[in-house]
Structure 1
Amino acid sequence: MNQPAKPRFQHIKDHILDGIHRHLYVAGCKIPSELQLAQDFGVSRMTVNKALCELADEGVLLRFAGDGTYVAENKIAAPLLDMNNIQQEISARSHQHVAELVHLYALEADAETAQYLETEPGTALYYSLIVHREDGQAVQLEERFVQAQWAPGYLQQDFSAQTPNEFLLKNSQLTDAEHTIRAVMPATREQLLLEIGAQEPCLLVLRRSWSHKNLVSFAKLWHPGNRYSLHSRVPLGD
């Protein structure tokens, strides 16, 4: 009995998967464009798009609007896996988390923010400012700048239901994060939103997050020093 003909898009999927298996396309490598693949296989771009979308849904490829399609890493970097967001931390303590959205809008990068995001002043960004509470007490003020091109849909999210970090992990496919921690005195805005006095120091975490080669987000996370602590446990060598 004759086998049914393989769909055209499946031929493209098999070609890409074979290329990955034979290390012609390695993790982080950009694959040929939709137009190039359509010409190579003699099919429409719609057929190519179906193949690439299925491979992206399966976690094999990463697609970036205006940039191209890349081979995904085998797994997210370990440091990011160990980094819980504030909602997870609070839930792990069997406490109630509430997020109060203060601001959510689009803006253009100023010189300072552009430097943190390694982009040009005037770049389109999304901005959010959120107070995170644990059992009613403010424990974190999250100020976040996101490069608009890497986070479509950011302004339409309900950040009382999921944190920006959770949204970006799922939708922008973050792979790496960098942290800088400082002890600072709160300015008037932080005092009011965190409900602390002018002489109460804060822990300020500066977090930059990447999706492979793309720097997606820069966040400032203020924590009242008398309500919050940061800790880490890592294995040591002999």
Structure 2
Amino acid sequence: MVTIAAARQPAASFADVVEVVVARPDVGSDAVCASATLLSDRELERARRFAFDSDRGRYVVARALLRQLLAARLGARPESVELASGARGKPALTGRCAASDLRFNVSHCEDVAVYAFASGREVGVDVEAVRALPDADDVAARWFSRHEHATYRALEPRDRPLGFFQCWTRKEAFIKALGDGLYHPLDRFDVSLAPGEPARILRVEDVPGDQCPWRLEAFSPVPGFVAAVVTERLEGDER
């Protein structure tokens, strides 16, 4: 496992409220078999629905690691951690585990998995490999806000892949923190995206970003990847 300490990490004040773990799990056949013993029947059924063995293996290992990380924070056995999904897919603890008020979120891309944990506040995370997409301009025109799209179009062509995925991970982390997923209209909020610009939520509906109850941090978990974490602000938090 690789922790965030091995990469550029979120600000120290952010780490006080959110714990981030970055992993590159072993997805060999032995690891997949061992990991499968920790999963619930529902998780194993979901794993069987993957069309490709590589995707199935990554899911099984990443899900088992999530259970191990949660178990370590709950003082429980990994296979006894009770998990559920909200109406729009956000994972959460349930049953006796819910009393801990531990919130979490997970994202994975290729062989990189990022886990975020927070106590008593919602959290969302997303990670992507920076790469050139043939339809990136069309995706940006359709899904970015008007402000974000204008900023993206103003970037030099060489900067657009990084700008695209900085925007995408930040927006994904925000809607995952909300628990709405892609049900939430992506043009109702703006995030910063230009390379070298601080990661910020600029607007949520008609509320300026510095007045909204959410905080954004971005980082590179491993070379060639970008990630973002959004967490809920609580009364008394610094802005």
Q: TM over 0.5, yes or no?
A: no
Higher RCO (CA 8 Å, separation ≥ 6 residues) = 2
TM-score, normalization by structure 2: 0.22
As a proportion of its length, which structure holds more strand? Answer: 1
Q: TM-score, normalised by structure 1?
A: 0.22
From the two aligned structures, give the one with the greater helix fraction.
2
For the pair shown, the structure with the greater C-alpha radius of gyration is 1
